[in-house]
Amino acid sequence: MSKISPEKVVSVSYTLTLDNGSIADQADADQPFLFIHGIGQTLPSFDEHLNGLSAGETFNFKLSADDAYGEPNANWIIDIPKSIFDGPDVPADILQVGAVLPMQDQSGNPMDGKVIEIGAEAVKMDFNHPLAGEALSFSGMVLEVREATAEELEHGHVHGPGGHQH
């Protein structure tokens, strides 16, 4: 029986719960979470806790905020000129407190920003991960473990049913 180790394709069902008891995310056996273990698709501490498990085994562990998405960073709360949200291609109602907007950094890398305040000249946005500062409790089951194909490793994602289709 194959055990989880780097470069294996892993399929899991899980529930992610926060300290306040709310469910932040989940994947069931009908639509499992698939990833290639150990190549940076998941939190390193998540990978560590699953390492060595086989299909049919359950898991239950908690990650501190430091082992998950870290503590919120005040430097990632930024005032953006309100004028960048003007223009014919920008929906008029896009700016709303609480809205998460797709943005890009100076290098063109995609990132999501949450609108936290709208001023006359600037929009204050938070670019911290939504789960920054949160401890994460995972419970679930390993559904399948298999070798990743050369193509999956080259492309950096799972192919086939439940994975990426080309």
Domain identity same for 97 and 16: no
Domain that holds residue 151: 8-69+131-155
* 67 three-class SS: helix
Domain identity same for 56 and 78: no
Overall number of domains in the chain: 2
Q: Residue 149 contacts by C-beta under 8 Å, 6 or more apart in sequence? A: 159
In whole angstroms, give the CA distance from residue 46 to residue 63.
Answer: 8
Nearest 10 degrees: CA dihedral of 149, 151, 155, 160?
A: -70
pTM flag (> 0.75): yes
The whole-number average pLDDT for the span 22-30 is 96
- CATH no. for residue 112? 2.40.10.330
* 154 three-class SS: helix
Q: Residue 41 contacts by C-beta under 8 Å, 6 or more apart in sequence? A: 35, 156, 157
Residue 161 lies in a domain: no
Q: Residue 96 contacts by C-beta under 8 Å, 6 or more apart in sequence? A: 115
pLDDT in tens, 129-150: 999 999 999 999 999 999 999 9
In whole angstroms, give the CA distance from residue 48 to residue 108.
Answer: 31
pLDDT in tens, 79-128: 999 999 888 888 878 899 999 999 988 898 899 999 999 999 999 999 99
Residue 164 lies in a domain: no
